[in-house]
């Protein structure tokens, strides 16, 4: 909770910032988050569905079932719980509707070596985005997805030191300023509900993704 409070303070939003500790793998915890948010602000206009974890980079046959379930429970089930609660609030509020942006990944399109759990869930997020975008039409809920590649964060810092490539080599990869991702999110979030970015890919220009590496 201290970390959440620190982020809220850094935002400069003052009383407009509400920090609620939530376990996205627990449906009751997610429901409580949305209920508390609706009580505080009267409505929910935007959900950035961002929670995600990875598993150790090990051969597929050596991946522990507990690690598989942990990734699926967070990246897929957790995203669905948040999506479902957002739908319930957004369709009932007046005026109704809102926007949901799911965090996919470059891994929603192409895997890295030894990443089956993360890759499988991120591919599933793309399907969930399409289904929710269709189901949200009748409620004026716009659903899209942002796929991020090699943003400069603590999580991605290892890319600059060298990571396994599809051909078995270890190679350093370029990174981009994470603020660029924020600009993309603001663009998507500020669109009127009559328009939607269904899929948006923002990535380090020279990272090995398009082509054959």
Is 107 domain-assigned?
yes
Is 78 domain-assigned?
yes
Is 114 domain-assigned?
yes
| The predicted structure's pLDDT at residue 136 | 98
Long-range Cβ contact pairs of 167-175 (< 8 A, separation 24 or more) = 167/213, 168/113, 171/208, 173/204, 173/207, 173/208, 174/150, 174/204, 174/205, 174/206, 174/207, 175/150, 175/151, 175/204
For residues 90 and 1, give the distance between their C-alpha atoms in angstroms, rounded to a whole number: 26
| The predicted structure's pLDDT at residue 149 | 95
| The predicted structure's pLDDT at residue 213 | 67
Is 181 domain-assigned?
yes
Is 173 domain-assigned?
yes
Is 33 domain-assigned?
no
| The predicted structure's pLDDT at residue 200 | 98
Residue 187 annotated among the catalytic residues of the structure: no
Q: How many domains does the chain have?
A: 1
Q: What is the CATH number of the domain that holds 83?
A: 3.40.50.720
Each residue's pLDDT expressed in tens, for the chain with a length of 213 residues: 778 888 888 877 788 889 999 999 999 999 999 999 999 999 999 999 999 999 999 999 999 999 999 999 999 999 999 999 999 999 999 999 999 999 999 999 999 999 999 999 999 999 999 999 999 999 999 999 999 999 999 878 888 999 999 998 999 999 999 999 999 999 999 999 999 999 999 999 999 998 866
For residue 80, the Cα-to-chain-centroid distance in whole angstroms is 11
| The predicted structure's pLDDT at residue 156 | 86
Domain of residue 70 covers 44-203
Is 132 domain-assigned?
yes
């Amino acid at each position: 909770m201290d970390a959440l409070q620190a982020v809220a303070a850094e935002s400069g939003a003052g009383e407009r910032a509400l920090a609620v500790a939530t376990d996205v793998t627990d449906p009751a915890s997610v429901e409580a988050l949305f209920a508390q948010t609706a009580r505080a602000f009267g409505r929910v206009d935007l959900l950035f569905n961002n929670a995600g974890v990875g598993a150790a980079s090990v051969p597929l046959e050596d991946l522990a079932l507990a690690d598989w379930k942990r990734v699926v429970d967070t990246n897929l089930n957790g995203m669905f719980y948040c999506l479902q609660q957002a739908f319930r609030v957004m369709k009932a509020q007046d005026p109704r509707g809102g926007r949901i942006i799911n965090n996919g990944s470059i891994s929603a399109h192409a895997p890295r070596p030894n990443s089956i759990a993360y890759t499988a869930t991120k591919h599933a997020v793309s399907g969930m985005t399409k289904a929710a975008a269709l189901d949200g039409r009748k409620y004026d809920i716009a659903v899209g997805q942002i796929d991020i590649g090699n943003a400069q964060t603590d999580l991605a810092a290892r890319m600059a030191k060298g990571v396994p490539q599809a051909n078995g080599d270890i190679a350093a990869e370029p990174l981009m300023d994470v603020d660029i991702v924020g600009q993309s999110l603001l663009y998507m979030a500020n669109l009127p509900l009559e328009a939607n970015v269904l899929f948006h890919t923002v990535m380090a220009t020279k990272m090995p993704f398009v082509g054959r590496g």
